[in-house]
Structure 1
Amino acid sequence: METLHPIQVQKEPEATLSVDPKKFILWLFIVSIVMLFASQTSAYLVRRAEGNWLEFNMPVVFWYSTAVLVISSLSMHWAYYSAKKDNFTNLKIAISVTFVLGLAFLYMQFQGWREMVDMKVYFVGNPSGSFLYVFTGLHAFHLISGLFVLLFALVSAFRFKVHAKNLRRIEICATYWHFLDILWVYLFFFLLTFN
């Protein structure tokens, strides 16, 4: 008598989700920055509620620097769009404009610190001033890292390594830059609201 063997059906392997390792690292970095600023803004609110809080007006130059950073986001988007269309001239111009606007933002932050000193708001002294210096200083530090990412993307654009079929560098650059812009807008309005 012949025994029948059950037919074995082989399942096709399930597709695995693949994530670009560099993009994954970028998102981990962004999450860590979000956690850093979330802890700082929470500490700000707790300390403010304890009293002994110096109230002062935000330096006017911070309004202008916010506008500059928002415009830099637009130029960064222009760079990404130009890369998708293989418009290398506009890509180089747009990244360069974004870089210059980033430098202008840093200069304006420095001017904001000078305005604060003129208002007698110092890093050491009342915690309200200390927090403002810490927030703006930490953001400036991360923006400097964003300028290095921009510089790397600009060099890659000049070497024609950024184009419609290779958008990873410009995507990473744009994601990080837009994040830094959103972070500053959040910090700025947080400080306006709770100062």
Structure 2
Amino acid sequence: MENTLEQEYKQAKRKSAKPMLWVSMISMTMLFAGLTSAYVVSRNRGDWVSFDLPPAFYTSTILIVISSITFMLAKFFIKKDNRQLTTLFLVSTLILGVGFVYFQFEGFKELINSGLFFAGEKSTVKSSFIYGITLAHLAHIAAGLIVLLVVFYNHLVKRYTSLNFLGLELGAIFWHFVDILWIYLFLFFYFIR
């Protein structure tokens, strides 16, 4: 009897996992929609200063796009029960994710070196928005890296197979979400000056 209840609980948990993830991603999307809307409205201020995005943001964008591809490949190979290639692509995704974070902070250094600060006397409305929105995205990337570490650990202890890879799939969905979110933010900052 207990075994049957436990199986029913696990099955119900699996059924609710994706919808709950989608609900949370929708709420995160609303957060960034609000932040970018405030950015658009603030552009009309008299003290708005326009500047180009730091080159490091271009590099970080390339890295996060490649990391989504490597995560897709990890999912592809776990479906084939190829543990070795799944491991390779999960490690690659993790390295690329850390590289993304590194180049985001390099971009912040470039902004500071050009005299643009997050807050204080030398800050501008635009630079404050870019720092704030990017830092909010980095918080989601940090969550994505934690998810990736959990997925990697679960893969190492052989919890995923071609028949049971829900955790890896959920991790991939979230990772693709933060990837798409950054591409949106990057293009937004690039075109809305």
Flag whether TM exceeds 0.5 (same fold): yes
| Residues 46-55 or 141-150, more deviating | 46-55
User: Where is the helix percentage greater, Structure 1 or Structure 2?
Assistant: 2
| Runs of 4+ displaced beyond 6 Å | none
* CA positional deviation for 1:138: 0.7
* CA positional deviation for 1:159: 1.1
How big is each residue's C-alpha offset from its partner over 1:9-57, in whole Å with a ceiling of 9 and x where there is no partner? Answer: xxxxxxxxx9722222211110111000000000000111233101111
Paired with 1:126 and 1:61, the residues of 2 have a C-alpha distance of 20
Which structure is larger by alpha-carbon Rg, 1 or 2? 1
1:113 to 97, 108, 111: 108
1:67 to 56, 62, 71: 62
Q: What residue ranges of structure 1 are gaps of 5+ in the alignment?
A: 1-17
**Corresponding residue number in structure 1 for 2:165:** 167
- State the Cα RMSD in Å: 1.4
**Corresponding residue number in structure 2 for 1:10:** none
Q: What's the TM-score once normalised by structure 2's chain length?
A: 0.90
**Corresponding residue number in structure 2 for 1:154:** 152
* CA positional deviation for 1:72: 0.3
The total of aligned residue pairs comes to 179
Letter of the aligned partner of 2:127 in structure 1? G
Q: What residue ranges of structure 2 are gaps of 5+ in the alignment?
A: 1-12
* CA positional deviation for 1:166: 0.5
1:52 to 34, 39, 47: 47
The percentage of aligned residue pairs carrying the same residue is 37
Q: What's the TM-score once normalised by structure 1's chain length?
A: 0.89
**Corresponding residue number in structure 1 for 2:139:** 141
2:83 to 76, 83, 88: 88
* CA positional deviation for 1:147: 0.5
1:29-48 to 2 correspondences below 5 Å = 29-48=24-43
Paired with 1:193 and 1:42, the residues of 2 have a C-alpha distance of 14
Indicate yes or no: 2:190 matched with 1:192. Answer: yes
**Corresponding residue number in structure 1 for 2:16:** 21
